[in-house]
Amino acid sequence: MVKKNLTKAFFVSVAIGVLIFSLGLFVGYGLDVLRVKDVSVSLHEIELQTLDYITSQEFLDVFGQSNYCDILDSRLSAITPQLVELGQTLTDYEDRNIFSGDEYKLLKSKYFLLEIRAYTLFTKLKRECNVNENLILYFYDQDHEDSNRQGYVLDSLVNSKKNVHIFSFDRSFEIIKFLVDNYDINVAPTMIINEKEKFEGLTYLDKLRDSVN
């Protein structure tokens, strides 16, 4: 009788263990789905804002308005903080190893392409309207000490000067290879400031401040 009870208790314990393990897998999968959905929604919102800007630009080009440049500058400047916030979310997920896989890489690649589009639109606006905005391309390596430190320096720069916009790129992603090749990026971190200056390696705040308007 005792042996029978021990056998029953063993199988009950195994069943409970399997149930707990399966529940953990289900919860983990559910959290990944929610994270993917959250990032996807943010990407769609930025896409919509970008389309709104392009549509506004085309309308004003055709019909004209006296404050054309101010309107476009204001609308485009509203996009970059959302790009920065989404980029920080993606990096945080990757650093904590709670979000990975092919779907994650696809979302991050899409994010980089949205950054390139925003940078291109901003550069065009600067040339047409001579707006006082500083654009910085920042190339980094994931899990790289100097890249991480450079990120904090750039955060401080943005906090001290409101007309600075950072567009950050993980240089290992194949989808931005044309960008890496165009600017001859060989080390991380590397920054391109206003298409004029190139800084390779960890660069401190005072030096960066001297390079922006």
DSSP code per residue over 159-200: HH-TTEEEEEEETT-GGGHHHHHHTT--SSSEEEETTTEEEE
pLDDT at 28 (0 to 100): 41
pLDDT at 146 (0 to 100): 96
Where in the sequence of the chain do the CATH 3.40.30.10 domains occur?
A: 133-213
pLDDT at 27 (0 to 100): 41
pLDDT at 102 (0 to 100): 78
Taking the model in full, what pTM does it have? 0.78
| DSSP state for residue 57 in the 8-state scheme | H
- Give dist(CA 31, CA 201) in Å, integer: 37
Report the C-alpha dihedral over residues 115, 117, 118, 120, rounded to 10 degrees: 120
Q: Which of 195, 191, 198 has the alpha carbon at shortest distance from 169?
A: 191
- Give the position of tokens 């589009």: 117
Radius of gyration from C-alpha coordinates of the chain: 24
> Class of 133-213 per CATH?
alpha beta
Question: Which residues of the chain, if any, have pLDDT below 50?
Answer: 2-3, 6, 10-12, 14-15, 17-19, 21-31
Where in the sequence of the chain do the CATH 1.20.58 domains occur?
A: 1-131
- Give dist(CA 117, CA 50) in Å, integer: 8
Tell me how far CA of residue 135 lies from CA of 36, 112, 211, in angstroms. 29, 15, 11
Q: Is the CATH number 1.20.58 carried by domain 1-131?
A: yes
Q: Which of 90, 118, 112 has the alpha carbon at shortest distance from 178?
A: 112
pLDDT at 36 (0 to 100): 62
Residues 118 and 80: beta-carbon distance below 8 Å: yes
